[in-house]
Copies of this chain bind each other. A is one copy, B any other.
Amino acid sequence: MANIKDLAKHAGVSVTTVSRVLNHHPYVNEEKKERVLASMEELNYERNINAVHLSTGKTNVIGVVVPFVNHPYFSTLLQGISDEALKRNHQLMLFQTNYEVETELKALHMLKMKQMDGLIFCSRACGWEVLQDHKRYGPIALCENVQDSFISSVYINHFEAFRHALNYLIQCNHSKIGYCIGRSTGSNSKNRIQAYNETMNELGETIRDDWIFTNSYTLEDGINIAKSILIKEERPSALLVSSDQVAAGIYMECERNGYKIPDDLAIVGFDNDAMASYLNLSTIELPLVQMGQQLLKVVLKGQYGLRKEMPFTLIERQSV
């Protein structure tokens, strides 16, 4: 394959001139430029892009860490990230981690090795100290509320969102309220749990562990939660459900067994996905596509420690 020296020789110009043409340098003699372009054509010159990265230090690649690709919450975020990457002529390196720290470390290592210009964590399993160890290697953005002079953050205030939904239920005369979340260890979940505990304490309600469901992500998880609730002697009158997929499963399983929503069980979901809209579920809408777009923008700015809070909206429908 022809290299830059072959090209210079063929075109009868210096290597510097060829380099200037390749890098769109403004001050190149037009006639020489034409000769270089003609030689590129003739010698079928292909630029080795890895060599270009080596010289520019830019890859135009952004890494994206998601626990699960095949879940509406994460695939909607990913849709927003992908839309924006396309618009800004960047490529995405995808890491599906199943919440395994080892895979997250691979992504961080690639940032360190300059194989990407920045890294987005849609959710993470690794500890804060791991991020601290890597933050100097390039811009990192998280979907959680952090204050750090290096790490950026595009987030929803999940404390306020949970509190908002709880107050809505309380206004509708509910006090026996349970909740369903994903992991209990994630930073967003911790904020939700805190909002719940504080609210229940203010109400003077006991916190009942059997009305709390963790590791709930899918429609099937929702079906199983409904099954376990329906056989309880004492049931909550309302459930706050951190994913509309789970809320839809609960809704459908209750209705199938002759229990009426909201009379027998009120439900507030999160996300406002297609199922929530179809089943007329009250839900907290999260602007996930826009959040994905913001994540990419923040990382591309190449600045450190940017913060962007995304709004949430309560959508009142028929399930409360």
Contact = CB atoms under 8 A, between A and B. Distances in A.
Given A49-B114, A54-B48, A115-B49, A274 B220 contact: yes
A114 B70 contact: no
Nearest to A52: B113
A74 to B, nearest CB: 9
Contacts of A95: 91-92
A78 interface: yes
Contacts of A78: 69-70, 94, 96
A51 interface: yes
A274 B47 contact: no
A169 interface: no
A114 B48 contact: yes
A278 interface: yes
Interface string A35-77: 0000000000011111101100001010010001111100110
A191 interface: no
Contacts of A101: none
A219 B219 CA distance: 15
Interface stretch (A79-87, A158-166, A302-310): A79-87
A126 interface: no
Contact of A91 (B49, B83, B93): B93
A113 B47 contact: yes
Contacts of A17: none
A254 interface: no
A195 interface: no
A46 B220 contact: no
Contacts of A86: 96, 103
B115 A50 contact: yes
Contacts of A71: 75
21 contacts: A47-B113, A49-B113, A49-B115, A50-B54, A50-B113, A54-B54, A61-B93, A64-B94, A68-B79, A69-B79, A69-B82, A78-B96, A82-B96, A86-B96, A86-B103, A91-B106, A91-B110, A92-B93, A93-B94, A94-B94, A220-B274
